[in-house]
Amino acid sequence: MIKDLKAGMSADGIYLIKDSVKGVTAKGLNYLNITLQDSSGTIEAKKWDADENDFEVLQKGSIVEISAEVIDYKDKPQVKIFSASFAKNSENLIKSFLVDSPISVDILIEKFKKLFKSVENPDCKAILNKIFEKYYSKFIEYPAAVKNHHEFYHGLLYHTVSMCEIADFLAEHYDDVNRDILISGCLLHDIGKVIELSGPIATKYTDEGNLLGHLTIGMSLVREVANELNITSDVPLQLEHMILSHHGKLEYGAAVLPQTKEALLLSMIDDMDAKMMILAKAYQNIKPGEYTDRIFALDNRTFYKSK
């Protein structure tokens, strides 16, 4: 398993190529920067002196069998690949190489359905029913990102449920918060990712993802459904605003700044949940009493893990 690999060990085995990028050395020789993945995690790898066969085999999304060793690179294990070939029966193996959610999907689905059913506003319910009727199967499988946070199998579901549970507490804690709007906004805030992203396997951005982004896509889905259902209340407008503003700041990718109490809460909940997952992932690689590497998404800071 990748999580057990250390410098000096053999890395022979079968892996999913999560990412693969071509490079050229100062001497003009081709190489590949690769991310290998199995169900325990990922590890960086290199294939030096790469040829056309390597470019064909070691491409993103492939299941490959490699001959390799683990070396130490800047105090981290890195895999040096000697040779690679397509694994046999790879179509039947691929889901076994995905990093799964820390919470079982059955528990997440149960929580999701309970939160979904708790929404009482008829317009919110109608919009939620229509959108999830169409995108539910993708929603429960997709990651929440290509990298950084919740980038694992069922990650979008995990992130959404986590946010809704936080929102449920805050809606009771603070006065004048419209719980139905806040929970609906949490459920829908990242729904555009089922179109923005390619899927749970070797996830990448689709053309719609690159050219539109999940905020615009999600807003458009709500508006399309609301028009189809002839909803005349301000519920669709509030939900559209929450989706467009949930990144909190323009420099973080928000289309507009939050201008309702529910939109502001949503943006803070989303930011907190994402950062806590980034930190949890960083803590997996260190022991109590140690510091993480610098984390770019957290202002390039290091974090101490309590003993």
CATH number for domain 2-95, candidates 2.40.50.140, 1.10.3210.10, 3.40.50.2300, 1.10.287.3610: 2.40.50.140
Q: Which class does domain 100-282 fall in? A: mainly alpha
What pLDDT sits at residue 92?
Answer: 63
What pLDDT sits at residue 90?
Answer: 67
Of 263, 278, 290, 285, nearest to 186 by C-alpha is: 263
Distances (CA, A) of 280 to 139, 150, 268, 276, 286: 23, 10, 18, 6, 11
Please state the domain extents for the chain.
2-95, 100-282
Q: Could you state, in chain order, the average pLDDT of each consecutive group of 10 residues for the chain (307 residues)?
A: 90 92 91 91 92 92 92 91 87 75 94 97 98 96 87 93 97 95 98 95 92 98 97 97 97 96 98 94 89 92 94
Domains 2-95 and 100-282 share a fold: no
Cα 221–225–228 angle (5° rounding)? 145
What pLDDT sits at residue 197?
Answer: 96
Query: In 96-203, which ranges are continuous DSSP H helix?
Result: 105-118, 122-141, 155-173, 179-188, 193-196
Residue located via tokens 């960083």: 282
Its pTM stands at 0.85
H/E run at residue 34: strand 30-38
